[in-house]
Structures are given as C-alpha cells and as structure tokens.
Amino acid sequence: MAHENTRKHLSVDTRVEGWSWTFPASPEGALPTKTFRNTHTVHLNGNTILLQHYLPAHTDSDISVEFLDADIIHTGDTWWNGVYPFTDYSTGGSIEGVIRALETNISKVTDKTIIIPGHGPVGNKAQLIECRDMMLTVRDTIAALKNQGYSYTQVLAAKPTAAYDDKWGKWVIDSQIFIAQVYNGV
C-alpha cells in the first residue's frame, strides 16, 4: 500500500539528480497493489492507522502514518531529525513543501506524541519546531542573497548555514549540499 505517485515512480527508472543515481524500475511483483490519493484509513488489530498524503515536500509521494490510538506519527522523509534534510526535486519535492510539511506535522502533534522521522532518532514536537525554524531562517537568508543577485558560489561563501552546521550538517547532507538545494528551490 502506498501513495499513487509512489507506484508511478517505482514503475519506471527514476533518476534522482541530487544523488546522481538512477533507481531501476521495480518488477511488477514488488509494486504496491493498493494505492490512494489523499487519505486512507486502515483498521488493524483494533487500532486505527491514518495514511495521509502531504502536498509535494521531500518528494511528491510523501505520506504520514498516524497511529491514532497510540498517539504516534511517522513523518517519513518530510522530517530528518537533527540533520539537514534532502529535497528530491527530481520526484516533485520542494523546499517550500518541506516547510509546509513541517508545519502540518507541528499542527497534528502534542507535546506527548511520539514522532518517528524519516531519518534520525525518534523525536518530539520541540524538535519539529526547531527544524522548521532552522528551515525558515536558512530559506529566508538564502532567498534574500539570491534576490540581491548573489550566485550560488557567492551564497556558499557567505556561509548562510554557519549557525546550524555543527548540529545539522554532520550526516549525509552537509552544508554545501543543503545550501545548493535551498538555493535551487528559492
């Protein structure tokens, strides 16, 4: 079971430019057999699980999985806890969409909700807010520089993520990659 765009992407070779990698099409037997567009509810072992599509964020097929009876949400790759996120423009992602998904996640959870990110440790609402705030600051800073005519090289030299790099830039997406993603998205 997956969002309909997931099946679409898995059905064909999919080039992810940000990774310089082409994922080969999945064989028919590996494709989701049931898809949905906006929301889908599953009842399993007396529990209600809500699958909900985000507008394009990390990709155009991101969903959240909410375990309503347990107050748990899995955000998928719309949230990478404690590290810079990856936005896949090749499959419909956008920086604005990642921020919008963070806002959506923040509005759904309480201080007690267990939040499972796409990457990083299980987290909480305060960490979602911290990530959203970082994303807004970096986006606004880079957009202002770009609007002033700065090239990507000049923006990179201005170090717009310097205040965040020690925490957020220590994994797969370093500051240079993250700055490029944001620059290309604003």
Number of domains forming the structure of the chain: 1
Q: Which residue from 99, 83, 91 is spatially nearest to 8, judged by alpha carbons?
A: 91
**pLDDT tens, 73-132?**
999 999 999 999 999 999 999 999 999 999 999 999 999 999 999 999 999 999 999 999
Q: What CA–CA distance (Å, rounded) separates 144 from 108?
A: 31
Specify whether the CB–CB gap between 79 and 118 falls below 8 A. Answer: yes
CATH classification of the domain holding 179: 3.60.15.10
The domain of 153 spans 2-185
| Neighbouring residues of 48: CB distance < 8 A, sequence distance ≥ 6 | 41, 42, 67, 68, 69
For residue 96, which phi and psi values (nearest 5 degrees)?
-60, -35
Whole-structure pTM value: 0.93
